[in-house]
């Protein structure tokens, strides 16, 4: 269970600046409309909603040198970085409400900076259909929401890799990717070459979610800062249609619940991103509601009291 007295700080980042489809900019409001704050408070958690960050509009331009909107992406990520870092410095648990997944650059660079200062080992759980390990040379589209893990590992433009002051912000060895089932051709080689630990859907099919999560959580201890970067497209498209890049063949509702509950069982989650929710593609806010149910499990909601 999460330390009950720690305050959760909701940070809205209403932008789709790095996305391939418009609409993730409405994600923070959809989570609020689904009842995020009141639901978490009903479990005894203390939640403060800091409202939404402000950043540049989405100019919706084609890529330049392999990046779309690099200046705007950098501006948003600097703002996210500062907000997440300030929550951690205040002793609160930041929950970033995306917004597209490029914003994990700002969020996780802030978490990594905090961990360096506190001497905490960092483990990043990257729940996603996609590896998000593209570079300007590998990307077929220039959309930076396909690049944050590579950028955090030091592969990208200095405007992004330098956010947080240390490049690379994290080592690939800090990351465990879960649910992956859509990786671009060039990206596949780069993932392998970088030694990223990926529990793809085939692994989950063969081993089951329980053994997958045991492996992904192996080696964490009482000092570990566990960061969860939850791309809502991690979920099977049948239960989560409201995302910009839905991919079939993802974890079922029950598999996703088990994943979240096993993370909660560690008691080590100290920061969270909920990303890529796209209300423009959703059906009656149902994907936001599913995402919220899974967030409840991340914070320790379970069917019965467990020992
Ligand atoms: Mn993603």
Tens digits of per-residue pLDDT, 203-242? 999 999 999 999 999 999 999 999 999 999 999 999 999 9
Q: Tens of pLDDT along 281-290?
A: 999 999 999 9
Q: What is the pLDDT of residue 302?
A: 82
Active-site residue 184, yes or no?
no
CATH code matching the domain that covers 7-298, chosen among 3.40.190.10, 3.60.15.10, 3.40.350.10, 3.40.800.10: 3.40.800.10
Using CA atoms, how far residue 305 sits from 95, 258, 300, 301, 302, in Å, is 25, 15, 10, 9, 7
Residue 2 scores a pLDDT above 50: no
Where in the chain are the domains?
7-298
pTM above 0.95, yes or no: yes
Identify whether 101 is a catalytic site residue: yes
Element holding 288 (H helix, E strand) = helix 286-298
**Cα 118 to the center of its chain, rounded Å:** 22
Q: Which pair of tokens denotes residue 71? A: 């200046």
80-109 per-position pLDDT tens digit = 999 999 999 999 999 999 999 999 999 999
Rounded to the nearest whole angstrom, what is the distance from the C-alpha of residue 130 to the centroid of ligand 1?
Answer: 6
State in Å: Cα 305 to ligand 1 middle.
33
Q: How far lies 210's CA from each of 153, 206, 249, in Å?
A: 28, 11, 18
What is the band of 23 on the pLDDT scale with cuts at 50, 70, 90?
Answer: very high
Q: Which of 69, 130, 136, 227 is catalytic?
A: 130
CA dist 253 and 118 (Å) reads 36
Half-sphere exposure of 214 (CA within 13 A, CB side): 5
Cis before 192 (ω within 30): no
Q: How far apart are CA 13 and CA 23, in angstroms?
A: 12
- Cβ(231)–Cβ(130) below 8 Å: yes
Q: Are 156 and 147 in contact (CB under 8 A)?
A: yes
Say how many Å lie between the CA of residue 15 and the centre of ligand 1: 14
Q: Which among 16, 72, 100, 132 is annotated as catalytic?
A: 132
Distance 241 CA to ligand 1 centre (A): 15
Residue 303 pLDDT level (bands cut at 50, 70, 90): confident
Q: Would the pLDDT of 19 be above 80?
A: yes
């Amino acid at each position: 269970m999460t330390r009950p007295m720690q305050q959760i700080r909701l940070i809205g980042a209403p932008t789709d600046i790095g996305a391939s489809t418009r609409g993730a900019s409405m994600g923070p409001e959809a989570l609020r409309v689904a009842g995020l704050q009141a639901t978490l408070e009903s479990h005894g958690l203390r939640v403060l909603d800091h409202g939404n960050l402000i950043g540049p509009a989405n100019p919706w331009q084609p890529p330049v040198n392999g990046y779309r909107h690099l200046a705007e992406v950098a501006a948003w990520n600097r703002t996210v970085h500062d907000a997440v870092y300030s929550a951690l410095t205040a002793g609160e648990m930041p929950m970033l409400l995306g917004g597209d997944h490029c914003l994990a650059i700002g969020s996780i660079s802030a978490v990594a900076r905090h961990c360096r200062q506190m001497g905490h080992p960092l483990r990043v759980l990257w729940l996603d259909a996609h590896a998000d390990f593209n570079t300007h040379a590998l990307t077929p589209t220039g959309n930076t929401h396909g690049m944050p893990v590579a950028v955090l590992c030091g592969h990208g433009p200095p405007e992004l890799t330098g956010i947080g002051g240390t490049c690379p912000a994290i080592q690939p060895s800090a990351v465990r990717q879960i649910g992956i089932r859509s990786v671009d051709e060039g990206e596949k080689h780069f993932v392998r070459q970088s030694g990223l630990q990926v529990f793809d859907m085939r692994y989950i099919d063969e081993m089951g979610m329980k053994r997958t999560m045991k492996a992904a959580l192996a080696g964490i201890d009482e000092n570990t800062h566990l960061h969860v970067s939850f791309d809502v497209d991690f979920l099977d498209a049948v239960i989560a249609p409201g995302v910009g890049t839905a991919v079939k063949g993802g974890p079922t509702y029950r598999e996703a619940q088990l994943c979240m509950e096993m993370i909660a069982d560690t008691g080590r989650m100290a920061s969270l991103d909920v990303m890529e929710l796209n209300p423009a593609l959703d059906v009656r806010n149902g994907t936001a509601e599913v995402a919220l149910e899974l967030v409840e499990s991340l914070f320790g909601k379970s069917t019965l009291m467990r020992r």
